[in-house]
Amino acid sequence: MSTLFDQFGIRFEFPENWQVDAPTEATGDISITVSSPETAFWSLTRYHGTVNPAELLEQVLATMKEEYAGLEFDTAADHIEDQPMVGYDLNFFYLDLSNTAWFRGFQREKATYLLFCQAEDREMEQVEPVLHAMTVSLLRNNQGRGM
């Protein structure tokens, strides 16, 4: 079963056994993170106004490079629900576990968004379809809403 998140003008579905961490009120930029019972998470940050997605993505990549020695990454581009997204696919080790992550930036009328997904590789095979479904749900449920 899924649960509907519907706050701050953002709507998406997520598994009912996942935990949501969201602010209690929206003042400026907001971040919403939905975590699996294990290691996976799906995180969305909304930046009000016109933030350059390319600069934002480069900042995130630079931070990840500082945090994780041996970080491997590739540039990526997607079209999900007719929404162009650009970003990076990442692989790195944390606590001797191999992790996969990706982040994508995209713009809408009123804001720039950064979507970040990550899981330990053994869990990623199971949760990757869930992370994708949450992203599709975000884009479908917010069409025509200005988001």
Question: What are 98-145's pLDDT values in tens digits?
Answer: 999 999 999 887 889 999 999 999 999 999 999 999 999 999 887 765
Given 3.30.70.20, 3.40.50.2300, 3.40.1000.10, 3.90.226.10, which CATH number is that of 2-141? 3.40.1000.10
Q: Which residues of the chain form beta strands (DSSP E)? A: 2-7, 10-15, 19-21, 30-35, 41-48, 72-80, 83-94, 97-107, 111-120
Whole-model pTM: value is 0.90
Q: How do the domains of the chain map onto residue ranges?
A: 2-141
Q: Are strands 97-107 and 2-7 parallel, antiparallel or unpaired?
A: unpaired
Q: pLDDT (tens digit, 9 = 90+) per residue, 37-84?
A: 999 999 999 998 778 888 889 999 999 999 988 899 999 998 888 888
Cα gap 79→67, rounded to integer Å: 29
pLDDT tops 80 at residue 27: no
pLDDT tops 70 at residue 13: yes
Q: Phi and psi of 38, rounded to 5°?
A: -105, -110
